[in-house]
Amino acid sequence: MGRLLLRGVRQAQSVILIAILLLLDLPSLLPSLDAYSSQWLGWLWYGLLVAVAAVDAVLSARGAFWGRTAWPVALGVLAVSTAAAASLPTSELLGPAHYTFGVVGWFGLVLFADRRIRTVVAFVLLHVAVTAALLAVRGVLSEQLVTLATVALGVSSFQFALMAATLVLRAIAERATEVAVAQAEAATQEAIAREVHTDREARYAALRETALPLLRGLADGTLSPTDHAVQRAAAVEAARMRRLFSEQGDEATLLAAEVESLVDVVERRGVRVRYAARPLAVEPPPEVRRSLVEAISGVLLVTTRVARVTVGGTGRDVTVSVVTDGDVGGSGDDAPGGEHVRTSTVVDGGRTWVEARWLIP
Amino acid sequence: MADPLTGRRGPTVVIVDDHPAIVDGVRAWCSGADPPIEVVDSGNRPAAAFAGAGADADVVVFDLLYGSQPDFSSLRRLIQAGRRVIVYSQEDSADTVLRCVELGVATYLTKSEGDEHLVPAIHAIAEGGTYTGPVLSGILAGDRRPGRPVLSEREREVLIAWFECESKQLVARRLHISVKTVDTHIERVRIKYADTGRPATSKSALMIRALQDGIVDLDDFDDLGGDG
């Protein structure tokens, strides 16, 4: 927003310059062309100034500044103004024919639009000094000094007024930018926090549905800790809680990270796991990720000796897979499928292979 | 090395690896193989495969990494010299593996894949065949680069299944096909990869072998569109 404001100021300055050249200076030039030592010289100086203003208009429209070319061009403008004055008779100096005296300051404004105000002031003073030197050469400085000062002050006060306005606008723009950035940052943080919170709430809700009955059953003695099915259910819930607690905002949301945390759980029980993960074409959304992990966690968590665990897929799907060579009791048929996730189980020669596949929509 | 009982001569290999433990491990697997594999030389620089006894070995077992830099130029020189190279490396990034496949390596195994893959790979490749391990299989299945060969749905299914379970019996059981058909699908994929950016020699060798094995017939060559 601040950028837009500054760009607006820059374009306004360019428009003012062109308006002055066309509406103020051209009417001054036309009746006084005869004053120039030759008419084409009058057109030449005017043409050069219009050319610089035109280039500036293009830059301004593109949101660009003169940058390093500002000083050379500024000195060029100064030279044109001085040459124009030099080609006028002494009587016409500081009169309507000497219109360039008034417009040079406006050039200073646009050429040094990205610099400090003191650069523009220095340029304007330099121009007045050069003009004074020309008057001195013509031997009329002392009698014209008051006129020079009056005209210079009259013209420059407009320019300095605009500069002051620019300064104020620039300060407002910077402040506006800061505020806008801060607001965007706050909004993003808030959105992330809300997302994480919703995700956690959903997980806690899922835990309440499954972990609480299990704990209650163990507490009141209706479930036995020695029961194989109870042990398996407890292992599943423990891994779920572990995933829930390990989640760190937007960082640990990767499918592979969740599968690895499951692998950690079983490796600490002494199971030898051969784990391989390939980069995925698409990171699955959270609910799909959960379905994929749940689909393999049941069979993986009851593995007692060796397991092969993979995360991978082609350009069209994402798969997680577990092969175990232990007796997994009840296989993985009851693993929850979830939306868009297909689970397939193969039992062969004492091995059980469960694969969960999500087709990328 | 000739087997004293059957007179069968096992394949010969040279091992290029800068880790002595790996060299000793591979040596032990080779001597325990059936038929035994003779390690004719080993060294920590590629020179071992170019000169001396290693220059005539049937298969080069090549560690791609020296320090942390992959040595693609030695690999390229070996392949240009017509050697059958098994890259055996800890590096498993898809970029590196696919680059080696395009250079024309016979196969790429990672060091997480042990004797159960390296020994059959040496036997198959010494006889002019191919071997595709689970890791390479998973990488080919997930290849998403522009210009990659077009694989059929079934081929991708077989590759990913082999990557997942490391057992061709399980793959066959799950997809209701024979183990031989599993191999055929994997071999077809390798032929498709051979057709993109492989040296013509190894490419035509693969084609001829595929013809002899009945994996492809002459009509297929129009589809493959290669110059082999």
B73-82: long-range pairs with CB below 8 Å, 24+:
B74/B46, B75/B100, B75/B103, B75/B105, B76/B103, B77/B46, B77/B50, B78/B46, B78/B49, B78/B50, B79/B103, B79/B104, B79/B105, B79/B199, B79/B202, B80/B199, B81/B50, B82/B201
Q: Are residues B158 and B119 in the same domain?
A: no
pLDDT tens-digit series, residues A222-233: 988 887 778 767
- Tell me which residues of chain A, numbers 198 to 227, contact chain B at a CB-CB cutoff of 8 Å: none
d(CA B60, CA B80): 13
Q: Are residues B177 and B187 in the same domain?
A: yes
A314 touches chain B (CB under 8 A): yes
Position B226 in a domain: no
Mean per-residue pLDDT, A170-191: 85
End-of-domain residue from the set B83, B111, B131: B131
Position B224 in a domain: no
Local confidence band at A253 (pLDDT 50, 70, 90 cut-offs) = very low
Q: Is A358 helix (H, G, I), strand (E, B) or coil?
A: strand
Q: Are residues B121 and B137 in the same domain?
A: no
- pLDDT computed for residue A33 by the predictor: 82
Position B185 in a domain: yes
Cβ–Cβ below 8 Å for A312 and B141: yes
- pLDDT computed for residue B165 by the predictor: 92
pLDDT tens-digit series, residues A300-317: 888 888 999 999 988 889
Specify the higher pLDDT residue, A249 or A324: A324
Q: Are residues B69 and B168 in the same domain?
A: no
Q: Are residues B83 and B16 in the same domain?
A: yes
Position B1 in a domain: yes
Domain count for chain B: 2
Residue A162 has pLDDT above 50, yes or no: yes
- Please give the residue range of the domain that contains residue B70: 1-131
d(CA B155, CA B136): 14
Specify the higher pLDDT residue, A236 or A47: A47
DSSP at A215: H
The closest CB to that of A348, out of B156, B161, B173, belongs to B173
Q: Are residues B163 and B122 in the same domain?
A: no
Q: Are residues B5 and B35 in the same domain?
A: yes
* Closest alpha carbon to B226 in B189, B192, B187: B192
Nearest CA in chain A to B95: A279
A321 touches chain B (CB under 8 A): yes
Position B181 in a domain: yes
Q: Are residues B65 and B45 in the same domain?
A: yes
Spell out the per-residue pLDDT of chain B, length 228, in tens: 444 555 557 899 999 998 889 999 999 999 999 889 999 999 988 889 988 888 889 999 999 987 778 889 899 999 999 999 999 999 888 889 999 998 889 999 999 898 899 999 999 999 988 899 999 999 999 888 877 888 999 999 999 999 999 999 999 999 999 999 999 999 999 988 887 755 445 666 666 666 665 666 656 555 444 443
What is the ipTM, given to two decimal places? 0.76
Give the domains, in start order, of chain A with CATH numbers. 2-182 (no CATH), 254-359 (3.30.565.10)
- pLDDT computed for residue B204 by the predictor: 63
Position B223 in a domain: no
- pLDDT computed for residue A37 by the predictor: 81
Position B222 in a domain: no
Q: Are residues B125 and B139 in the same domain?
A: no
Cβ–Cβ below 8 Å for B94 and A278: yes
Sequence-ordered strand ranges (E) for A316-360: 317-324, 341-348, 351-359
A349 touches chain B (CB under 8 A): yes
End-of-domain residue from the set B83, B115, B131: B131
Distance from B177 to chain A by nearest Cα, in Å? 14
Contacts of A352 in chain B (CB under 8 A): none
| Distance, first Cα to last Cα, chain B | 34
| Domain CATH code at residue B170 | 1.10.10.10
Q: Are residues B182 and B108 in the same domain?
A: no
Q: Are residues B25 and B79 in the same domain?
A: yes
Report percent pLDDT > 90 for chain A: 16
Contacts of A355 in chain B (CB under 8 A): 161, 164
End-of-domain residue from the set B62, B97, B131: B131
Q: In what helix (H) or strand (E) does residue B13 lie, and over which residues does it extend?
A: strand B12-16
- pLDDT computed for residue B84 by the predictor: 93
Position B228 in a domain: no
Highest mean pLDDT among A47-51, A98-102, A327-331 belongs to A47-51
- pLDDT computed for residue A332 by the predictor: 44
Q: Are residues B115 and B68 in the same domain?
A: yes
Q: What is the DSSP string of A65-91?
A: --GGGHHHHHHHHHHHHHHHHHTS-GG
| Domain CATH code at residue B47 | 3.40.50.2300
